[in-house]
A and B are shown apart, each in its own frame.
Chain A
Amino acid sequence: MTTIQVESTAVAEEPLQADNKTMVRASVKVALVGLEARSRRILTRLIASAEAPDCEIVDHESADVIVVDRDGELAERELLALYQHSSVPVIVLSEAPVQGENITWIIKPVQANILLQSIWKLAQQRRRQTLQQRRETILAGSRRVRREVKYQLQHRPTAQTASIAAKAGKLDDSGVLYCGSVDESRYLLPRLPDDLFYDPQVHLQSVIQAVINEAQRRERVVAIRGLGRDIVIFDQGKLLATDLSDYQLRRIAASPVDRKVLAFLLLRESSIDIAALRQRAQRTDAVLWKVALWSSQGRLPAGADLDKPISIMAWPNLTRLALFPHAVQLAALWHRQAISMRATAALLNISYRYIFSFYAACLQLGLIRQHARPIVFQPPKSQQTDQGLLGKVLGYLRGKVERR
């Protein structure tokens, strides 16, 4: 009997807690191995429709959790391969008990909530390990970063270390939209691979920036033609109007723009309906910010140095800019001190994807400053606080706020 019957689709009684700190990606990636067609369909539907955990089905190479049907035809052979080569947790569905390191047995017929809970638990465990490994990898990578982290810790603002961000609440898809989906392990290679860099100069962000500068300098309205629809920049470069949707802009920003197909038009204010443009205008700083994020996708602008201390001269105006995970936290850190991106990753223990995207967007807005050595600008205030409290307040604020 190889068919899987799923009993009761009632998912976990208590809501499963999403812990932002351990969530590297928005959804859990599940691979189904050795299932015959019907079982596969049933499980795919079950897993894909689950809300908590939010799952997607992938092949076993990129999975967080692998589900194997032991009684299926392929199972024996594939199982063997998985046992031997995978650090990924394996859930085995079978009538008879199965034991082994890295293996969780679920008896058939499979109960939906048990399966989903196991998937969630294992995925979280795995992510926790990944986090631990990430920090260790970064710190092991260079003596310089260890020295810097030590220095930065001497100036830490509060004594307690329980993370504030652990309380940060719901994840949204902005992480993937703005910070890409490059596999986490690639960020931790001893040398950052070339494809984790991109050149802002050949992307839409630089085209828009150049036109903003031109509109300011000449005090004229300038249009960019050649991208399907015009982009019009006016009001001394402060406002931008276009019929291109965000989706279309994102597509354009994703790869280098061919400047040869572009034309730049100086327009006379008298020849256009400024009032109508104003109605549907966006601010250019907000557009530059999001377009830079769409191009960066978790990649670093060419020439950026992971080991050079940097800071931001002012906070980006985050109430009016696209938000993504850890943006507020990074703004606070980089405004408080000059710190390298490597030390940032080790200290906050967050993925480089957020750091690189934040860097790319801040750089486009001209906020990044380079420093010769780490400095803390803001000495700790004497006020008494503990991070547990800060985390709770954050939970309160986030729970009540729809994040964009």
Chain B
Amino acid sequence: MRHHKILFSGPVGAGKTTAIASISDHAPVLTEAKARDSTRLIKERTTVAMDYGVMELEGGEKVHLYGTPGQPRFDFMWDILAEGGLGIVLLIDNSAADAMHRLDRFLRVFDEVIERTSLVVGVTKMDVSATLTLADYVDRLDAAGVRAPVLEVDARERRDVALLVEALLYSIDPGLDVDDVA
């Protein structure tokens, strides 16, 4: 039986752990710890290894959901995790003062991964702050030559996360239903 995976990534506090919990079949395995260093200023608990959840499909196949830790010191894991995956769900916290910076950083550091893998961008916490709009993110992606769906999501809402993943799937293949024409 083949195994598949989808990678959830994004900076600290973007909602990766929450998003995986929203669509996983089981309570996800979390590797959170009390935040140390500067992360503590942002939040109480942070992911230190990776999050894990699973979607159990009909017929027994599974899609594993991995969440990368948000802190830059874990960047090295992303490459490994993204390898062979269906795609990447990038979450960005819109309420962070440097949200756009964080997107830039992601695009720069992971350009090779993005080149190989389909990407969707979920902008979280628009309810907390809406200073930046989706169009701002789209512009930035355009400038970096990345064409990806950008949707507003609340990581706590299963419906939002499911639609974001659906957008990823259709981006991989819009579902053409024709072989050839005469």
Closest to A157 in B: B173
Smallest CB gap from B154: residue in A: A319
Q: A146-B181, A319-B151, A401-B158 are in contact. Are A348 and B174 (CB under 8 A)?
A: yes
Q: Which of B142-156 contact A (CB under 8 A)?
A: 147, 149-153
Taking the closest CB of chain A, its distance from the CB of B4, in whole angstroms, is: 6
Which of B44-52, B55-63, B91-99 lines the interface with chain A?
Answer: B55-63
B164's closest neighbor in chain A, by CB?
A319
A384: interface (CB < 8 Å): yes
Q: For B163, what are the chain A residues with a Cβ–Cβ distance below 8 Å?
A: 318-319, 323, 328, 397, 401
- Out of B85, B147, B179, name the residue touching A378 (CB < 8 Å): B147
User: Which of under 10, 10 to 19, 20 to 34, or 35 or more describes the interface residues of B?
Assistant: 35 or more
Which of A198-206, A210-218, A329-337 lies at the interface?
A329-337
| Contact between A135 and B178, CB atoms less than 8 A apart | yes
Tally of contact residues, A, Cβ under 8 A = 55
- Report the Cα distance A157→B55, complex, angstroms: 24
> What distance in Å separates the Cβ of A239 from its nearest Cβ neighbour in chain B?
11
- Interface contact B135-A161, CB-CB below 8 Å: no
Inter-chain CA distance A118–B167, complex, in Å, is 37
Confirm or deny: A77 has a beta carbon within 8 angstroms of a beta carbon on chain B.
Answer: no
Say whether B181 contacts A383, CB under 8 Å.
no
Interface check B107, CB cutoff 8 A: no
Q: Does B117 make an interface contact (CB < 8 A)? A: yes
**Of the candidates B150, B166, B179, B181, which one forms a contact with A394 in the assembled complex, judged by CB atoms under 8 Å apart?**
B166
The answer on a CB contact under 8 Å between A319 and B160 is yes
Residue of B nearest to A158 (CB): B173
- Check B147 against A377 for contact (C-beta < 8 Å): yes
A5 CB, min distance to chain B CBs, angstroms = 40
Q: A332 contacts B150, CB within 8 Å?
A: no
Closest chain B residue to A131 by CB distance?
B177
**For the complex, is B159 an interface residue (Cβ under 8 Å from A)?**
yes
Closest to A156 in B: B176
Residues of chain B lying within 8 A (CB to CB) of residue A397: 23, 55, 162-163, 165-166
Q: A146-B181, A317-B152, A320-B152 are in contact. Are A328 and B170 (CB under 8 A)?
A: yes
